[in-house]
Amino acid sequence: MNLNKNLVFFEEKLKNTSAKLIVVSKTNPIEILQEAYNLGCRIFGENRVQELVPKYEALPKDIDWHLIGTLQGNKVKYIAPFVKMIHSIDSFKLLAEVNKQALKCNRTIDCLLQIHIADEETKFGFSFEEAEEILKSDELANLQNIKIAGLMGMASNTDDSEKVRLEFRGLKTFFEKIKSIIQKPNINFQELSMGMSGDYPIALEEGSTLIRVGSAIFGERK
Ligand SMILES: *Cc1c(COP(=O)(O)O)cnc(C)c1O
């Protein structure tokens, strides 16, 4: 694994796009993150609160931390003081909890609704219908300390790239639809988080603005 070479590769890939790279650092030790930081990385993604908090505490404070994994309501309070964006909102209840904790910290937290686009039961997220209902609901207007910045989706884990492409395309179509029909103070659709090490090229072609890449940067996780 050559961290510098891998990061330069992604920098080149994204140069003529408006997409950004989220360096998914989960399971890697703080020293490796510091190395990535020294090479210029300022956006890191973690999927567990227990891992994110000590890394936040140990590393420089100009890093944007993105929580990309499933989040339990009782853990929101630990990340609310600093988290930049939560990609994995999968219930209205969780959104309300994020709002409550953000208010306590006198902050606004950017959130993405996670949409279930894969055909795998094991993946989390809203259906398009459920997401649309929440985005249209009056209750959402009461949540003044969150901003819904867009959507996140994980495609099926398959070699069938056409299937992956259609799943990403479906999410992009829904994203554009919501953007055009819903105007609310706390909705500002700008980010479409899709694409990981195995499928980011397709995700970029289908309009991703945030790719979440771990193993293609750091090597396979143990
Ligand atoms: C681990 C993880 C990634 C990165 O996966 P790689 O295949 O290592 O790039 C992206 N998104 C989520 C939600 C993850 O949990």
User: Tens digit of pLDDT for each residue in 40-61?
Assistant: 999 999 999 999 999 999 999 9
Q: What is the 3-state secondary structure (H, E, C) of the chain?
A: CCHHHHHHHHHHHHCCCCCEEEEECCCCCHHHHHHHHHCCCCEEEECCHHHHHHHHHHCCCCCEEEECCCCCHHHHHHHCCCCCEEEEECCHHHHHHHHHHHHHCCCCEEEEEEECCCCCCCCCCECHHHHHHHHHCCHHHHCCCEEEEEEEECCCCCCCHHHHHHHHHHHHHHHHHHHHHCCCCCEEEEEEEECCCCCHHHHHHCCCCEEEECHHHHCCCC
pLDDT tier at 118, thresholds 50, 70, 90: very high
Give the mutation target among 20, 47, 212 for probing the ligand 1 site: most ligand atoms within 8 A of CB. Answer: 212
What is the mean pLDDT of the segment spanning 141-150? 97
pTM given for the model: 0.97
pLDDT of residue 215 exceeding 80, the answer is: yes
The reply to whether ligand 1 has any atom less than 6 angstroms from the CB of 24 is yes
The reply to whether ligand 1 has any atom less than 6 angstroms from the CB of 48 is no
User: Tens digit of pLDDT for each residue in 12-35?
Assistant: 999 989 999 999 999 999 999 999
